[in-house]
Amino acid sequence: MPQDGRSTLEDNVPLTGHLCIQAYLKTLDGSPGVYRMLDAESRVLYVGKARNLRARVSNYARPSGHSSRITRMIRETASMMFLTTRTETEALLLEQNLIKQLKPRYNVLLRDDKSFPNILVTADHMFPMIRKHRGAKKDKGKYYGPFASAGAVNRTLNQLQKAFLLRNCSDSMFETRTRPCLQYQIKRCSAPCVDKISQNEYAETVKDAERFLTGRSTQVQAQLAKHMAEASAAMEFERAAALRDRIRAMTSVQSTQGINPRTVAEADVIALHLEGGQACVQVFFIRANQNWGNRDFYPRIGPDVETAEVLEAFLGQFYDNKEPPRLLLLSHPIENQDLMEDALSGKLGRKVEISIPQRGEKAELIEGAARNARESLARRMAESATQSKLLRGLADAFDLDTPPRRIEVYDNSHIQGTNAVGGMIVAGPEGFEKGQYRKFNIRGDDLTPGDDFGMMKEVLTRRFKRLHKEDPERTKGMWPDLLLIDGGAGQVSAVAEIMVEYGVEDIPMIGVAKGLDRDAGKEEFHRTGQRPFALRHNDPVLYFVQRLRDEAHRFAIGTHRAKRSKAVGATPLDDVPGVGAARKRALLAHFGSAKAVGRANMADLTAVDGVSEALAERIYAFFHEGG
């Protein structure tokens, strides 16, 4: 029997549950590997790893002795798939990759998996710049982080610029400056671009910044205090005041970082709190003996999971695309600590230690993270209860059969029909689902500029086409339970035509129109074939709908502004094959404008760095074709 086939009885009746699982045992040996459990529709229910596949799968073949969650999972299992690996560590890594990719219903799943920002001090220029960096570390330079949020790194950068006066402008801007920019005027940059500081002096400030970012802040501050005293004694009061401001800026960075540990140089402090079938994992980032912020995560869990399972799944998925520190401090033990250490050490290329501290400063760090996890989860549960109440009120107000779990809200944004975009936001029991937001660049060439009805038709047409393609059976949770449209009777009528065309008129759809004098609080609600109605002025459901509409409006306007800004910076060079961002910058820096590039001859074009004869011919032909 193939290892990914479906088990059957002799009369070809498909097996399910523990009998299905038992049928696979004769094909398995004691190899390490990963197994998948699938339902009758071949949807993945669960992904697991095993040191010994046969032994692990035999546990599921027992008809009793399982938790309620595992019992339900076994009951739904109609087939299994297996992948053997050389080691259990490989199985662990493969398991976590598959969980993130397949999102099985019965696994613990980390839903927020964004990368974290770092501070980069570049190393490819004689006057290095300091800036925020997110993503793969491909640029040359030294990276410091991670920071818990863009806000945390921006605050630190702001103070570091005050303290060390390092440039943050691009290399192309640096090369074209003829006089100091505003950053120099407000004492945020030493203006190396116009020789206000020598290369050696600038290099010393870079070293000071790097010492500070690696935790040697006391040494830097003591040195600056010494120079300040010398300047004051020499009656160089302006220089002394500048040094005083730099010391204050460094102190400000330290104060915003909160409590900095004395005995922990580099660690992630990870604490878990479980309550009411929900989980919160709090992570504090300690680098260079400094607290660089914290972030809370809410993994999806089942009702009867243990702390060890949640934490182990979190670690595997969290560090799948992130570099782990040398030390992980955990609030609870995990089942396969040695295995996880091996996997993370292999990723980092040096030893990673996992510890569950019981006393001392490390235990105090865990206690603080656990308190934050407990308080964060309490706030989230309170917000969730409020959200559930609002969704029930929405169902009552709009005569829905059940409270909606997925609300899609649509709005358009344009200026006299130009740079038109549509925006879709999503909300549900857990509030705004920002990862589900979508933007639509309006393509319709036959639309009259400013035709809001036509724009909304195009957006909804594209949306329903995609839903029919990706989830035709409506089983993946991608379809909305309620549509809210920004507009009145005309918009509702336009959208209703599209819904009838695609056979989705069973989805409730409401138009939200500004009422009398377009005042908030006087909104009218429009439904197909019914009279408009309003909610009372102080109804919480009305405030909820206003928040949904305002969020859709904010998202659509932000998308429109980004598109308009991009269009403002566009040049004919964008359409020349083979001219990317770097060559475009080189051409504009050399000639001054796209118009001047178009007038240039072949010899002038090949004089630009990175422009070959073949590319010069292509550029020349682009501007002179038909001429």
**What pLDDT digit, counting tens, does each position of 154-192 carry?**
888 887 888 788 998 888 888 888 888 888 888 889 999
Q: How far is CA 377 from CA 173, 275, 276, 356, in A?
A: 46, 8, 10, 22
Indicate the range of 162-176, 317-331, 482-496, 572-586 predicted with least confidence.
572-586
Calculate the alpha carbon distances from 337 to 63, 308, 341, 368 in Å: 30, 10, 6, 23
* C-beta separation of 168 from 131 below 8 A: yes
CA nearest to 339, candidates 369, 374, 308, 296: 308
pLDDT, position 593 = 78
Q: Which whole-number Å values give the CA distances from 261 to 286, 291, 380, in the listed order?
A: 8, 8, 28
10 Å CB burial of residue 64 (0-12, 13-18, 19+) is: exposed
- Written as one letter, the residue type at 59 is N
Alpha-carbon span 18 to 27, nearest angstrom: 16
Kindly indicate the confidence band of residue 384, based on its pLDDT and cuts at 50, 70 and 90: confident
Q: The tokens of 18 are what?
A: 């523990």
- Residue closest to 246 by CA, chosen among 273, 220, 272, 283: 220
Q: Average of pLDDT values for 219-235?
A: 75
To the nearest whole percent, how much of the chain has pLDDT over 70? 89
Domains assigned to the chain: 17-102 (3.40.1440.10), 118-256 (no CATH), 266-378 (3.30.420.340), 407-566 (3.30.420.340), 572-624 (1.10.150.20)
Which of 2-11, 54-63, 229-238 shows the lowest per-residue confidence on average (mean pLDDT)?
2-11
More confident residue, 251 or 61: 61
Q: What is the DSSP letter of 116?
A: -
Q: Is the pLDDT of residue 257 over 60?
A: no
C-alpha to C-alpha distance for 243 and 237, rounded to whole angstroms: 10
Give the lowest-confidence range in 68-77, 175-184, 539-548, 557-566.
557-566
The pLDDT tens digits of the residues spanning 456-497 come to 888 899 999 999 998 888 888 899 999 999 888 888 988 999
What percentage of residues in the chain have a pLDDT greater than 90? 41
Under a CB-based contact definition with an 8 Å cutoff, are residues 145 and 116 in contact?
yes
